[in-house]
Amino acid sequence: MTRIPREESYRYSGLETRVVWFSGAVTLAIALLMLQLWRLQVLQGAEYARVSENNRISQKRLQADRGMILDRNGNLLADNRASSDIVFIPGECPEPQREKVCQLLGSLLNVSTESLINRMHALRGQPFTQITVKSDIAKADRVRVEELGAQLPGVMIVAHPQRRYHYGETAGQILGYLGEINRAELESRQSEGYYPGDWIGKDGLERYYESELRGQDGFMLVTRYAAGQPQLLTDKLGRPYIAARDTLGHLLNLEAPPVPPQPGKTLHLTLDIALQRYCEELLGSRSGAIVVLDADTGEVLAMASRPGYDPAVFVTRGRNEERMALLSGQRPNPMTHRAFREIYPPGSVFKVLMAAAALETGVITERTSFFCPGRFTLKQGGRAWRCWKRSGHGATNVIDALAYSCDVFFYNVGLQLDIDQISKYGHLAGYGARTGIDLPGEAEGVLPDREWKARVNAGLAPSERRWYPGDTINLSIGQGSMATTPLQNAVMMACMINGGYRIRPHLWRDAPQEKSEKIFSDATLRVVIEGLKKCVEDGPPAPSGTGYAAYIPGMTVVGKTGSAQIMGLEHHEQYKSEEDIPEHMRDHAWFVAGVIDRAPRLAICILVEYGHHGSSAAAPLAKNIIDFFYNHRAEPSETADLLAEGD
């Protein structure tokens, strides 16, 4: 028998092939691994290094102070104060004492102890998370906590900037207010660096100039550990501590010098806060508006509205009920600035524009006269319109028609001008369009014409869409469908005073001054001004004009009264006297005025809601404003002291 060698007895076919395949697989795997390592470390090394560094480093935002707001004389209207919050960091307090500290905080600060303990337990896994105990604390709260500091381990006071308004309701609607950014605002402005919880301008100048006032945030780069979120603290001035911990208690290291925040831009206004306060006091408890412009530049010197609100309500602790009441839409609404957001029929103040348009187009001259018997009858249809003076004004020219507000004169003028010319010059003077003031939410108003009537009555019969002579008659005295803001009437009056140019009103001192091409000739304006002067003259020898209550000896004051009907005359006739008419049915009282022989030249518009007559309710206010501005206004340094007394 042949004997097989021992080593050959363990060999089997295919071994060599398997060894080759296995060796090849190992070699391929090593090659692929080396290729992947080369790709990660060479091709993408820089990117992964950046990601790694970002995971290690956290950027903490340092919020910028909001810009200050000053009036034209340097008086501080809005700035920022250091608002302090009390926070509790359980990880800084021995565990057996934590609930005792919560109980002591509850009794000291009048906050819910149960809520505080529940929040602490919910963050058991992150003991160094800051729990806000009370926000925007009063000085008394700070003192109590500091006095018992030894019994309150882990309790700290941190500071952050809070908006402050120095004059309460004065100019509050102009300044506007702040609120926490909502989802829609966050989505639209996230590219600008806003985050949930940020405060943003919601109305007024705070909203219109949000980008300028907001400032530029700074940041700090600190070490970030695996599961902990950086928890920075601040001192009493709001400066962040360099040494702080994350939610797990790791000490944070500063990775680079902090980039300090840049405060927002200081906003210098054209507003005269002393005049603003005086105008608001003149309105008192009456709803209405007062606008005072520099007729040549468009600078808003005062723009009062009643009722008003204090913007501090929205940023101050403990005023939730006031805040909710303001946002409830109550009537009259304190949140609505009546000078540029509400529209009213202008009544007889529109006669100023009618007179200027008729003179400019040559429809009338200075000597043109119409007879006023106290009523006007339209030849087509025989419908009659009254003059406010039932006995009539007799033969009246344009100067007397402005002085004594003769309705019949302007009925005739309106029919001769026709709606197309009225619409043309009305738009040129600024009616039916926004003035462009640097505030949000301005109303356009309504200047009706053929196209407007056809558009708003598009679904009605052709007879309802057609413009009729009666429509022109109503429009000629500022009634019918016409609606304007007090600001638009002030702009129109400025046009009469400054040589015939429409100006753009503005509140920011550095806003560019804008004015239109010349609308009215000097010859036209001379006649109109004569009529407006006579309106204010306090005869004899001539009878007093309807605006005589605004007369100031030694000063050239011009003006025009107006009473805008909100109810037909038939509703008033059922009452024995005007005082018996319910307030909501009374006419609105208007007065537009100007001063042409002083610098700066003023253009003024006053509206008193349900005030009956411009001659009695509005004209006297104009006299007070003019006298205050030119004769009794304090110097800038004195103004600050004067206003500080009322804070």
Find the CATH number of the domain harbouring 141. 3.90.1310.10
CATH, residue 428: 3.40.710.10
22 Cβ contact partners less than 8 Å away, ≥ 6 residues apart: none
**Distance between CA atoms of 58 and 222, rounded to whole angstroms?**
5
What does the pLDDT read at residue 123? 86
Report phi then psi at 212, rounded to 5: -75, -40
Q: What is the DSSP letter of 444?
A: -
Do 168 and 295 fall into the same domain? no
Residues 6 or more apart whose CB falls under 8 angstroms from that of 550 comprise 536, 557, 559, 591, 593, 619, 620, 622, 623, 626
Residue 320 has what pLDDT?
Answer: 80
Cα separation, 497 vs 526, in Å, equals 10
Domain end (from 222, 247, 268)? 268
Which residues span the domain enclosing 282?
274-322+337-642
Task: Say if CB 319 and CB 562 are below 8 A apart.
Answer: no
Determine how many CB atoms are found less than 10 A away from the CB of residue 235.
Answer: 13
Cβ contact 490:291 at 8 Å: yes
405 close to 388: Cβ distance less than 8 angstroms: yes
Q: How far is residue 116 from each of residues 104, 113, 300, 513, measured CA to CA in Å?
A: 11, 5, 50, 56
In sequence order, the β-bridge partners of residue 269 are: 508
Does residue 49 form part of some domain? no
Closest CA to 508 of 299, 211, 254: 299
Same domain, 163 and 227: yes
Instruction: Give the span between the Cα atoms of 107 and 85, in whole angstroms.
Output: 17
User: Which of 247, 268, 289 finishes a domain?
Assistant: 268
Tell me the two tokens of residue 278: 């005086």
Question: 342: which 2 tokens?
Answer: 């509400």
Per-residue pLDDT, 58? 66
CB atoms within 10 A of CB 458: 9
Asked whether residue 357 is domain-assigned, the answer is yes
Query: Residue 39 falls within a domain, yes or no?
Result: no
Q: What is the pLDDT of residue 18?
A: 76
Given a cut of 50, the residues of the chain with pLDDT beneath it are: 1, 635-647
Q: Are 640 and 75 in contact (CB under 8 A)?
A: yes
Q: Which of left, alpha, beta for 37 (phi over 0: left; psi -120 to 50: alpha)?
A: alpha
Query: What are 246's two structure tokens?
Result: 């994350």
Whether residue 256 sits in one domain with residue 352: no
What residues contact residue 453 under an 8 Å CB cut-off, 6+ apart? 465, 466, 467, 471, 481
Length of the chain: 647
Radius of gyration over alpha carbons of the chain, in Å? 37
Residues 228 and 283 in one domain: no
Number of domains in the chain: 2
Q: Are residues 169 and 317 in the same domain?
A: no
**Do residues 635 and 567 share a domain?**
yes
What pLDDT does 157 receive?
A: 86
- Tell me how far CA of residue 441 lies from CA of 251, 427, 444, in angstroms: 50, 20, 10
pLDDT of residue 468: 94
- The residues, any chain, with a CB within 8 Å of residue 635's CB and separated by 6 or more, are none
- Spatial neighbors of 371 by CB under 8 A, at least 6 apart, are 394, 395, 396, 408
CA distance 18 to 37: 28
What DSSP assignment string belongs to 7-74?
GGGG--TTHHHHHHHHHHHHHHHHHHHHHHHHIIIIISHHHHHHHHHHHHEEEEEEPPPPPPEE-TT-
Say if residue 196 is exposed, middle or buried (CB neighbours under 10 Å; 0-12, 13-18, 19+). exposed
Structure tokens at 296: 């040549």
Angle at 240 between CA 164 and CA 176, to 5 degrees: 20
Q: How far apart are alpha carbons 463 and 363 in whole angstroms?
A: 29
Query: Same domain for 317 and 363?
Result: yes
Q: Is the bond preceding 469 in cis, omega lying within 30 degrees of 0?
A: no
Are both 168 and 278 inside the same structural domain?
A: no
Residue whose structure tokens are 């697989």: 25
Phi, psi of 541 (to 5 degrees): -80, -25
Tell whether 106 and 240 lie within a shared domain: yes
Domain boundary among the residues 252, 268, 284 is at: 268
Q: What is the pLDDT of residues 5-56, one digit of tens each?
A: 555 555 556 667 777 788 888 888 888 888 888 777 777 666 656 655 556 6
Main-chain dihedrals φ then ψ at residue 293, nearest 5 degrees: -115, 150
| pLDDT value at residue 646 | 38
Looking at the fold, whether 245 and 287 belong to one and the same domain comes out as no
Residue 266, both tokens: 């200081």
Looking at the domain assignment, is residue 30 inside a domain? no
Does residue 257 fall inside a structural domain? yes
Residues 192 and 307 both lie in one domain: no
Distance separating alpha carbons of residues 287 and 611, to the nearest angstrom: 9
Same-domain check for residues 296 and 211: no
Q: Is residue 17 part of a domain?
A: no
The pLDDT value recorded for residue 13 is: 63
228 CB-side CA count, 13 A: 24
Token digits of residue 226: 């695996």
pLDDT score recorded for residue 540: 73
Q: Is residue 3 part of a domain?
A: no
Q: What whole-number distance in Å separates Cα of residue 100 and Cα of residue 107?
A: 11
User: Is residue 350 included in any domain, yes or no?
Assistant: yes
Report yes or no: 304 and 283 within 8 Å, Cβ to Cβ: yes
Map residue 585 onto helix, strand or coil.
Answer: helix
Name the burial class of residue 633, with classes exposed (0-12), middle (13-18) and buried (19+) by CB atoms within 10 angstroms of its CB: middle
Which CA distances in Å does 256 have to 57, 227, 262, 617, 623?
10, 22, 18, 66, 63
Which SS3 state, helix, strand or coil, does residue 370 take? strand
